[in-house]
Amino acid sequence: MGLSAAMQAGVSGLAANSTALSAISNNIANVNTTAYKRVRTDFQAIVTASSTPTGYNAGGVTSTTRHMISTLGTLQKASSELDLGIDGQGFFVTTQTAEPGAEDARLFTRDGSFYADEDGYLRNASNLYLQGWPIVAGGGPTLSAADLSQLRTINVENIAAQIEPTSYAQIVGNLNSNQTVSDRADDYAASPTTLPMAAYDASAPDTTTSTRPDYDITIPVSDSQGGERKLTVSLIKLEADATATPPIGANTWAYEVWSPDVVDPTVTPATEASTHGIVSRGRLVYGTDGKLSDVQDPTGASTGATQLNLSFNWRTSIGVAPQTVAVDFNGDQGGLTQLTSASTSRVDADGTPFSGLDKVQVSKSGLVTAVFMNGSTRDIAQLALATFVNADGLTPVSGNAYTVSNESGPLTLKVPGVSGAGLLGVGTLEASDVDLSEEFTNLIVTQRAYSANSRTITTSDEMLQELLNIKR
CATH number, domain 168-349, options 2.60.98.20, 3.40.50.1370, 2.60.15.10, 3.40.50.1980: 2.60.98.20
Which residues of the chain, if any, have pLDDT below 70?
1, 49-54, 137-139, 158-162, 353-356, 374-376, 471-472
DSSP string, 368-394: EEEEETTS-EEEEEEE-EEEETTGGGS
Q: What is the pLDDT of residue 282?
A: 96
Q: What is the pLDDT of residue 3?
A: 77
Residue 20 to residue 42: CA distance in whole angstroms: 8
Q: What is the pLDDT of residue 140?
A: 78
Q: Quote the strand ranges of 215-288, DSSP E.
A: 215-222, 228-238, 252-258, 278-286
Q: What is the pLDDT of residue 39?
A: 93
Q: Is the dihedral of CA 446, 448, 451, 452 positive or negative?
A: negative
Q: What is the pLDDT of residue 50?
A: 63
Domain boundaries, the chain: 2-68+433-469, 75-162+357-430, 168-349
Q: What is the pLDDT of residue 137?
A: 64
Residue 62 to residue 386: CA distance in whole angstroms: 34
Non-local CB neighbours of 294 within 8 Å, separated by 6+ positions: 284, 285, 302, 303, 304, 306
DSSP string, 98-152: SS--TTSPEEEE---B-EE-TTSBEE-TT-PEEEEEE--TTS-----SS-GGG-E
What values do phi and psi take at 321, rounded to 5? -75, 155
Q: How many residues can be counted in the chain?
A: 472
Q: What is the pLDDT of residue 53?
A: 66
